[in-house]
Amino acid sequence: MKDRYNKLYPISWDQLHRDSKALAWRLLDLGPWQGIVAITRGGLVPAAVIARELEIRVIDTVCVSSYAWQDQGQCSVLKRFQPLAPEVTAKTLIIDDLVDTGRTAKIVREMLPEAHFATVYAKPAGRPMVDTFITEVSQDTWILFPWDSEARFVEPLADQKGK
C-alpha cells in the first residue's frame, strides 16, 4: 500500500484551520444544521472549527479505524452512531478531515444515509461519497496532517530528486 503514495502534502495547523473555516462557509448557506457527527480521529479538529463557526452545540462521534502511516488497512467500526430520527439525521453534518478511497465514508453513510457528508480534503476515488469538500488532491498524495508531524529541517526538492 505504501507504494501508492508518490507525493507528500504537509498541512499546517493554520492551513487546516483556514480550510475548515472555508468548509464552514460553504455549509452555512446549506443549513440550518441540528448537529455534527465527527469521524474520529481525523474529523475531530475540523468538526470543532465548524461547530464554532456554525454555532452547533450538538456533537457526537462515530469511531472508525482504517489508517496507519501511509497504509490504509481494513476498516473497523469501534463506535457506531445511532440516529434519533430521519428528520433529525437530514439536518446532521458528518465531518471528516479527508475522504481517500471512500471505504470509511461508505460505512458511515450506511449509518447516516440522510446526513450531509463534508470533508476538508478529497481524493478522486472517494469524492463521490461526500456532498461538500474544499480541496481535492491526487490519489497518490499522502496528506500529512499537523497532528502526525513535527517541525524539522527538510532538504529542498532538488536535493531529494537524486536520492
Is 159 labeled as catalytic in the residue annotation? Answer: no
- Report the DSSP beta bridge partners of residue 99: 122
**Which among 14, 19, 71, 100 is annotated as catalytic?**
100
Q: Indicate the pLDDT class of residue 1, thresholds 50, 70 and 90.
A: very low
Flag whether pLDDT at 6 surpasses 50: yes
CA–CA–CA angle 152, 149, 74 (5° rounding): 145
Catalytic residue among 97, 140, 148, 159: 97
Q: Is the pLDDT of residue 131 over 60?
A: yes
Whether this model's pTM surpasses 0.75: yes
Q: What is the CATH number of domain 2-161?
A: 3.40.50.2020
CA-to-CA separations, 1 to 68, 76, 89, 99, 145, in angstroms, rounded: 11, 18, 35, 17, 19
- What mean pLDDT do residues 28-53 have? 95
Catalytic, 140? Answer no
Would residue 96 show up in a list of annotated catalytic residues for this protein?
Answer: yes
The stretch 95-122 carries a mean pLDDT of 93
| pLDDT surpassing 90 at residue 149 | no
CB 114: neighbour CB atoms within 10 A?
A: 14
Q: pLDDT value at position 17?
A: 98
Closest CA to 62 of 107, 122, 123: 107
Question: Of the listed 14, 60, 96, 140, which one is catalytic?
Answer: 96
